[in-house]
Chains A and B, each alone.
Chain A
Amino acid sequence: MRSFSARRGTCGPALRHLPTPNYKSHRAPRSRAIRQSKMADAAAGPGGSGTRPGSKQSTNPADNYHLARRRTLQVVVSSLLTEAGFESAEKASVETLTEMLQSYISEIGRSAKSYCEHTARTQPTLSDIVVTLVEMGFNVDTLPAYAKRSQRMVITAPPVTNQPVTPKALTAGQNRPHPPHIPSHFPEFPDPHTYIKTPTYREPVSDYQVLREKAASQRRDVERALTRFMAKTGETQSLFKDDVSTFPLIAARPFTIPYLTALLPSELEIQQMEETDSSEQDEQTDTENIALHISTVGSPFLLLHSTPETAYPTLGPCPCELNCP
């Protein structure tokens, strides 16, 4: 928003100068006339950012805005043409020139922004514009003289006819005023309710019964949904031959090590246990530490094992070697 407005703001001085890119028009008679005007040889790109004006009237404020801008530029082009001595122009030529003007101005804005950001600033200064213009091959020195030419035409501000046509259904609060860098003719801020955040708090439910009810049904719903899902996605068993979906039982699947799931508390339970008795946990770890301390003392099961060098004498030949086929 800021860079856009900045670009807009710096457009002023160049507005009356019509640089024309080297544009080959198939409309021959008018292109000759155009070439008579001062032409800048530095060509901007074909101004892709411009919005094509729609032929049909759009109610969209953004489209309206584009249309207005376009119209202003057309006025500028027309007045420049008049200044240059044209009495009439084909619509297509005017359109083309408008397009070129728009591209040129956009390019100035874009480059100026780049220069300004290159120097770690957010707002372009005059020198940014100057460097831009120089870079684009424009002789800056000629600009003051051109600006002070006698026969120049003054263009009025764009009409504010394209104000949002839809009547405000709801006006809530004061609209925020424009910050200083935005010209006052620019559209107003939207209604505050569209962007102002109001944190809201639900009325806390304090009724015990409702809470319990809620917790119970919530858990039940989750469990039901989960088990149903599991049943739907996996193998099931049924108690009724004719109906497999009303009471689907997740099929029994044997475990490879059944005692682990049966004996070890589930993660949920572990978590719960940690929550409920953190105080006793401390006590327990204390005793565990003692246990660890003691356990290192001389249990034969925890001693280092002898290596074969100190091997125990014995063990005759394995009968397996003797007798097994």
Chain B
Amino acid sequence: MPPTGIETSRMNRKKGDKGFESPRPYKLTHQVVCINNINFQRKSVVGFVELTIFPTVANLNRIKLNSKQCRIYRVRINDLEAAFIYNDPTLEVCHSESKQRNLNYFSNAYAAAVSAVDPDAGNGELCIKVPSELWKHVDGKTPELKVLKIHINFSLDQPKGGLHFVVPSVEGSMAERGAHVFSCGYQNSTRFWFPCVDSYSELCTWKLEFTVDAAMVAVSNGDLVETVYTHDMRKKTFHYMLTIPTAASNISLAIGPFEILVDPYMHEVTHFCLPQLLPLLKHTTSYLHEVFEFYEEILTCRYPYSCFKTVFIDEAYVEVAAYASMSIFSTNLLHSAMIIDETPLTRRCLAQSLAQQFFGCFISRMSWSDEWVLKGISGYIYGLWMKKTFGVNEYRHWIKEELDKIVAYELKTGGVLLHPIFGGGKEKDNPASHLHFSIKHPHTLSWEYYTMFQCKAHLVMRLIENRISMEFMLQVFNKLLSLASTASSQKFQSHMWSQMLVSTYGFLKSISNVSGKDIQPLIKQWVDQSGVVKFYGSFAFNRKRNVLELEIKQDYTSPGTQKYVGPLKVTVQELDGSFNHTLQIEENSLKHDIPCHSKSRRNKKKKIPLMNGEEVDMDLSAMDADSPLLWIRIDPDMSVLRKVEFEQADFMWQYELRYERDVVAQQESILALEKFPTPASRLALTDILEQEQCFYRVRMAACFCLAKIANSMVSTWTGPPAMKSLFTRMFCCKTCPNIVKTNNFMSFQSYFLQKTMPVAMALLRDVHNLCPKEVLTFILDLIKYNDNRKNKFSDNYYRAEMIDALANSVTPAVSVNNEVRTLDNLNPDVRLILEEITRFLNMEKLLPSYRHTITVSCLRAIRVLQKNGHVPSDSSLFKSYAEYGHFVDIRIAALEAVVDYTRVDRSYEELQWLLNMIQTDPVPYVRHKILNMLTKNPPFTKNMESPLCNEALVDQLWKLMNSGTAHDWRLRCGAVDLYFTLFGLSRPSCLPLPELGLVLNLKEKKAVLNPTIIPETGAGTQESASNAGCHAQLAGFQNPFSSSQDEEEVDMDTVHDSQAFISHHLNMLERPSTPGLSKYRPSSSRSSLMPQHSLGCDIIPPTKPQWSMELSRKGIGKEQPLEMGVHSMVAAPLSVFAKESTSSRHSEHHHHHHHEHKKKKKKHKHKHKHKHKHDSKDKDKEPFAFSSPASGRSVRSPSLSD
């Protein structure tokens, strides 16, 4: 049955093409994943996959799949052994002999490497040759397009990415220890744990089988069909079926001794958590059904999968990861009923993951450039849920927050492009040339950029909603979903499945069909173009004409900005009411005349109508007697992605703060009032603080603003410190005002205020720029009298904020001649603070608080004391808290302190310690976070002179991003970010000028002596430590000249080729017997390899051309002995040759010619003669050439193994 109607043309997708055209010459319909052995001790996985594909071309002779890290044992197609090669250019982006150190070069090479294996371009790391029997037919017959079943046996040993093992080192069986494993990764990362077509656009049905220890539970996608014990009753096999076509990238797995909770409200939903946490799980998930109901209701569509599973695991890669019918959460989201602060956050995570179930998992995307639609829709419906759950205020506040974030990011970096279009593949029209990475692929994207990308996507969806109304918006979503669910039920019509993929074009078409509105300008402005709008507004009131003369300027020349043309809403609150005006922002019109409705009439007592219909009394004495204007707002609905800087008088801001009911306006006016430190501002803020109807976040913002204002007016300030009497009135006992009431957090609003006010108060400063003694005593009293015995809720966050308040009160120490900080000269106030911190930190050891919030705050406070010179600056305390085994929040707080220490003290040792942790820490999130924090708080930047900036560091970081982080996209991109922050795009200034002659000379001697290897050796050793396992064997034989290279070589080989691995081991084992020989093995040692061959072990040198084996098998038998001879000679220095040859060919392909490669090519020409020959032969034969000709390291030829 030829199932697809897709034409077999090569990928040629243009924007505007309606249908989906697969980049592959076949259609995948079904895949079986069977993992029949999971070893927690060794952290290894053994299994097979079976892909059922329908070729869409007549002579399908190559199949490219994605696979990383997996060691592939054999590939069979329809029970015939098939040869395969494995080439992953992303393992090492630029080859080590390259002395290039500029980031531009790296980013291009990295993008090219990712492209070379990009499934969306039909590429893959694993290339399988279809046995000729299956496609060559006897002349005369037309080759049939018949089903191919590709069976791949693979194993995974100590995976560094994709699958994460958590194995606590305690006594007991793995289940008792709470050991678990789960899949993780950034975007499509399924290839890290089984071979597949790792694309969001290749959908198929799934059968998933996992054999695990009987005490364990395997959770995966789809329905659990059956659980079968093995014969010895010691293991169980979980059989899952996923009948809804799903992309491999949405496949996930979690195995562990989970406690199981069936949702009491919906039995299709099952929750899983680690042992002992069941009570928390019960509480945490008790809310989930409401989210379900909400989404199903607004989308008028049932949840697409027949079941849903939530799994809470430790050491999570991200807090929330959504996969088909299953979401993996961080276990740290679990909380008990006593916890206030975490509850909304966790609920938001649950809601977020559920939104992605509909858009992201069920509906997938056609290509990377359509990602924004999925992220946008899921983010948008999540926003609707927020609005319903937390209220309009919270929603608008969130939108404002997200808008500020994206605006700040775009202005900083130069723009986020939602829908990148890549024409012709020319680097010149790179739409994101302002960035230091390519946005062509998700895997080259900086994590921060991706976060902002998601943020922008949902904001743009909201803009579309503004344009076409929410009703139409939901209709569009419903349409997408119903199309997809119709398609998904077509079990045997895989060509229909492309309906489940969303594209920008399809989405926009739906919008225009449903709404009949043209939103093209909007899309052009925000989707096809990067940048935000920056408005500057000011006004004058013309009394004669009774007209408001508004001037709106734009800055569209700074990076990250764009010009806005179109409508802009302005709201003017006058004495007679609030009026909306829509201005048309055009090319050259800056001034806009807005007629006013009311005459100035301050003496008439009359209520003033507000926008929402409310009528209020106002004290109008503050306003300008001549003007009827109370306040003006530009773009009040946030219907443009913009930053507005608007000038109006202080009393207008104060009126806006007091009487405008929109929380966004209130927040904006609070921000503006910081510039007006007057008693009137003080009064307005105090009133807001006291007003209980006011949104709590506004009140919290008012606290900080009030502190700033108080500091600006310190000389004229009267009365007690700001907020003190207010706090006393609200939270202290009536009879004894210095004692705080016993805690009662039933009212969350006052709880948040109670938490925040002392933190803001601690920012107050007196005329000497010190924190007033009164304030410190006040905070210390709050801590002293804190009594939570009668409270229903935990006060851990409250206490943590009190420590934050103490830290905020710290001012720089008065230092005399840089004396050493000792206990004797400790400031008495600081002594009190330190006393509290010590007690809190010690009590945490005995009675730990939820998520160790108090420890986190204490560590931060200690760092503040160190930085202000009260306590000797020292990183050892933080380093001990940063160790693996502490709760992740503590570790991050401690690492943040170490990062800060590294910057302030310019400590090379600490930087090395951090870099080492980036490479070796068991928790991927922590590694990512260190890089992230180093980028945010860098020890130096590109324009700065620093003793830390030296060649060794450059090499180290280069190595880190070049090959050290190949197992984690996010980490690699993080390393790129750091490199960019430290050295910029071009060659780091601390490096000597690249002199080609010198490089060439070095290269000649490289095998014997190459000074540049020395730093790399260090890094290599570190890397080997992290690899443990198989690499441990190698570590003992470190050769001073070749160790780092060998390590890398093995690193690459072990991943995919057991044969090469074995041969390598043999090589390594021989080393000690031939001391003094660095690279080239004498003939005597060669002989020891020979018997291996005669025994039939098909050890194939990594450099061996793969297709030539095929040919030899086909009958050019004479070549074989010759091959062997070449091989055994080559075998010894294989690492050198392998690397050089790949690199040279690699660079050839990517058009990055470097002089140094030329010579090498010549040098090895004779060795590769035959290879080139066959390659060229192959090239002639193949309809399409490999985009990156593999060096053929991995071969398994059936004829040889027999």
Contact = CB atoms under 8 A, between A and B. Distances in A.
Interface of A: 208-209, 212-213, 215-217, 220, 223-224, 226-227, 230-231, 237, 239-243, 246-266, 268-269, 272-273, 276-277, 287-288, 290-291, 294-295, 297-303, 305-308, 310-312, 314-316, 318-320, 322-323, 325
Contact of A322 (B73, B237, B280): B73
> 7 closest Cβ contacts across the A-B interface?
A254-B885, A291-B264, A227-B842, A319-B153, A295-B262, A300-B224, A209-B736
Contacts of B788: 272
A322 B71 CA distance: 14
B885 A265 contact: no
Contact of A323 (B34, B73, B794): B73
Contact of A320 (B155, B280, B874): B155
B237 A223 contact: no
Contacts of B883: 252, 254
B886 A252 contact: yes
Contact of B885 (A248, A258, A308): A258
A217 B233 CA distance: 60
A305 B276 contact: no
B332 A243 contact: no
A301 B224 contact: yes
B838 A248 contact: yes
A263 B851 contact: yes
A269 B338 contact: yes
Contacts of A298: 267
A319 B46 contact: yes
A301 B262 contact: yes
Contacts of B73: 319, 322-323
Contacts of B178: 257
Interface in B883-909: 883-889
Q: How large is the interface on B (under 10, 10 to 19, 20 to 34, 35 or more residues)?
A: 35 or more
A141 to B, nearest CB: 82
B887 A258 contact: yes
Given A230-B842, A251-B880, A277-B792, A262 B848 contact: yes
Nearest to A246: B823
A298 B217 CA distance: 17
A82 B889 CA distance: 102
Contacts of A262: 332, 848, 850-852, 887, 889
Contacts of B791: 272, 276
Contacts of B583: none
B228 A306 contact: yes
Contact of A272 (B789, B862, B888): B789
B289 to A, nearest CB: 12
B754 interface: no
5 contacts: A227-B843, A263-B332, A263-B334, A306-B227, A322-B153
B1154 to A, nearest CB: 40
A256 B1058 contact: no
A323 B821 CA distance: 64
Contacts of B865: 239
Interface in B199-240: 209, 211, 217, 223-231, 233, 236-237, 239
Contacts of B846: 226-227, 230
B835 interface: yes
Given A239-B877, A254-B884, A306-B226, A212 B822 contact: no
A212 B736 contact: yes
Contacts of A269: 338, 794
Nearest to A226: B846
A258 B229 contact: no
Contact of B733 (A208, A243, A260, A306): A208
A130 B787 CA distance: 75
B785 interface: yes
Given A224-B839, A301-B262, 12 more contacts: A213-B739, A223-B843, A227-B845, A247-B835, A258-B887, A262-B850, A295-B264, A305-B236, A308-B231, A312-B239, A315-B36, A318-B46
Contact of B229 (A256, A307, A320): A307
A227 B837 CA distance: 12
Contacts of A255: 885-887
A144 B671 CA distance: 119
A241 to B, nearest CB: 6
Given A249-B841, A277-B792, A320-B46, A300 B223 contact: yes
A281 to B, nearest CB: 10
Contact of A265 (B336, B839, B886): B336
A255 B170 CA distance: 10
A308 B224 CA distance: 17
B228 A308 contact: yes
Interface of B is mostly: mixed
Contacts of B280: 263-264
B886 A254 contact: yes
B36 A318 contact: yes
B237 A312 contact: yes
Nearest to A322: B73
A292 B912 CA distance: 54
A225 B872 CA distance: 26
A173 B239 CA distance: 91
B385 interface: no
A305 B224 CA distance: 11
A81 B791 CA distance: 88
A276 B170 contact: no
A302 B260 contact: yes
B270 A208 contact: no
Nearest to B272: A301
B37 interface: yes
Nearest to B862: A239
Interface string B807-832: 00000000000000111000000000
A31 B153 CA distance: 115
B998 interface: no
A250 B233 contact: no
A234 B865 CA distance: 25
A246 B34 CA distance: 60
Interface string B298-331: 0000000000000000100000000000000001
B169 interface: yes
Given A254-B885, A262-B889, A310 B276 contact: no
B155 A257 contact: no
Contact of A263 (B170, B260, B264, B850): B850
A273 B280 CA distance: 14
B735 A264 contact: no
A209 B845 CA distance: 31
A259 B887 contact: yes
Contacts of B872: 239-241
A155 to B, nearest CB: 74
Contacts of B842: 227, 230-231, 248-250
A258 B834 contact: no
A276 B74 CA distance: 63
Contacts of A249: 838, 841-842, 877
Candidate in A256, A297, A310 with the most chain B CB atoms within 10 angstroms: A256
Contacts of A265: 336, 338, 794, 850
Nearest to A292: B264
Nearest to A242: B822
B277 interface: yes
A215 B788 CA distance: 12
Nearest to B786: A216
B331 A259 contact: yes
A288 B231 CA distance: 37
Nearest to A255: B885
Interface in B720-745: 733, 735-736, 739
Contacts of A297: 267
B979 interface: no
Contacts of A294: 262, 264, 267
Contacts of B889: 262
Contacts of A217: 784
A157 to B, nearest CB: 69
A314 B233 CA distance: 17
Contacts of B787: 212, 215-216
B847 interface: yes
